[in-house]
Structure 1
Amino acid sequence: MARVFVYGTLKKGQPNYFRMMDPANGRAEFLARARTVEPYPLVIATEHSIPFLLDAPGTGRRVCGEIYRVDQKMLEFLDRFERCPHWYQRAEVRLEVEDGDGEGENALRPGSIEEAFVYRKTTHEPEWLQKPTYESYDAYGDHGLKYVRPEDRSPE
């Protein structure tokens, strides 16, 4: 089992959350809400209004998201879904736990520092660093950028 930090469309209440809960993709168990220890630029880019966590630690904001415990099947699904390693890179990130859901060995204590995998963009258009950054992504937020799901995208 691995830990994964999701900050965009895979969070609860977002357009791709159903993929995290689909047993055909593997198993994912919500552990806690958290934020990155270091700031990162979280931007919305491309004509599909995709949230990207850019690999530029120390700039941007401390990004809020959710930590999940996933099995190997789900991790492999997420790699395919995130087009890893061609589109996103999977890397470890340090997180400060805000609140958890659960007890026993999988419970995470508020305030504790944990590590999890995150999908981040290591190569991007230079102007992306000039885009507004967000602390928390919401596909339905007041940014006015409509997210286009993968199956609704034209072939690239």
Structure 2
Amino acid sequence: MAYVFVYGTLKKGQPNYHYMMDSNNGKAEFVATAFTTHKYPLVIASKYNVPYLLNLPGQGHRIHGEIYKVDNRMLDFLDDFESVPARYQRTVVELEVKESAGKTDGDKMMPGSITEVFVYSTTTYQPDWPSGPTFDSYDAYGDHGLIYVCKEDRD
């Protein structure tokens, strides 16, 4: 089992959350909400309005998201879904737990505790992305007005 931090379309209430809950992809269990201990640029980019976490520590904002405990099958699915290593890389990020879902198989992430988990970020991006608008939290239906285009709807 591994822990993964999701900050974009895989969060609860977002367009791709159903993939996290599809048992055909493996097992994912919500553990906690959290935010990065370091700042990163979270941008919405490409013609599909995809959220990208740029692997540029120290720039942007502390990013808010959700921690999930996943099995190896789900981790493999997420690697494929996130196009690792072509589009994203799975790296480790340090997080501060905001709210815990409680005990998970004997694990407990207490609010305020610091933990390290996997995250999907990118080092491959357009030169203007870091200087554009950045966000501390992603919502596909947010005030930014950038409508996310799901993979199945792309040409």
Aligned amino acid, residue 149 of structure 2: V
Aligned amino acid, residue 146 of structure 1: I
Aligned amino acid, residue 129 of structure 1: P
Pairing of 1:2-81 with structure 2 (within 5 A):
2-81=2-81
User: How many residue pairs get matched?
Assistant: 154
State the shift of 1:102 in Å: 2.1
Greater fraction strand: 2
- Structure 1 moving runs of 4+ over 4 Å: none
RMSD of aligned alpha carbons: 0.7
Distance 2:43 2:124 in 1: 13
Distance 1:120 1:19 in 2: 19
Q: Contact between 1:45 and 1:52, CA under 8 Å: does it hold in 2?
A: yes
Distance 2:146 2:4 in 1: 25
Q: Percent identity?
A: 59
> Which ranges in structure 1 are unaligned for 5 or more consecutive residues?
none
Distance 1:144 1:119 in 2: 24
Q: Contact between 1:32 and 1:99, CA under 8 Å: does it hold in 2?
A: yes
Distance 1:151 1:89 in 2: 22
Corresponding residue for 2:111?
110
State the shift of 1:106 in Å: 2.2
Distance 2:129 2:74 in 1: 29
Q: 1:31-63 CA deviation, whole Å, 9 max, x = no partner? A: 000000000000000000000000100000000
- Note if 1:147 corresponds to 2:141: no
- Note if 1:127 corresponds to 2:120: no
Q: With structure 2 as the length reference, what TM-score do the two structures score?
A: 0.98
Aligned amino acid, residue 81 of structure 1: F
Distance 1:88 1:152 in 2: 20
Q: 1:85-133 CA deviation, whole Å, 9 max, x = no partner? A: 1110000000000001022622210000001100001111110011111
> Which ranges in structure 2 are unaligned for 5 or more consecutive residues?
none
